[in-house]
Amino acid sequence: MGDRRKSRELALQALFALDLNKSDSQSQIDAFLEQHGDDVSEPTRHFFQLLVDGVVENQEKIDTLLDQWAKNWKISRMPAVDRNIMRIAVFEMVNLPDVPPSVSINEAVEIGKKFGTRDSGSFINGVLDRIRAQHES
């Protein structure tokens, strides 16, 4: 597994925990990294931190986009795993021009298949593709 995939998977786990616990995010992130520290290379840690910080700082804008483009779904009713996978991908698509949107979407779909339900991949793909189309226009 590449550094960026590992970063995305770790970011999902950290954001999922933040989403459920609603407490001080930085102390939770620090504890999470300490727990996984031996398994995390410096490039993985750097991209992980970029993703987590970016999602936390931009969560309101990201959630607005998800609410707008997830037909018949409110962000609060989405499965927490899918919601956080899409938050990461939207952050990448909007804020990281060096990551092609197709890569962000593909990574999100694959991670959704691994950590989500059997419907996660298609749900994530549909929402993110609508956001990509709107963002590129």
Q: In the CATH scheme, what is the homologous superfamily, with its name and number, of domain 3-136?
A: NusB-like (1.10.940.10)
Per this entry, what is the length of the chain? Answer: 137
Per-residue tens of pLDDT for the chain, all 137 residues:
689 999 999 999 999 988 888 766 777 777 777 787 667 888 998 999 999 999 999 999 999 999 999 988 899 999 999 999 999 999 999 999 999 999 999 999 999 999 999 999 999 999 999 999 988 77
Residue 98 CB coordination number (10 Å): 6
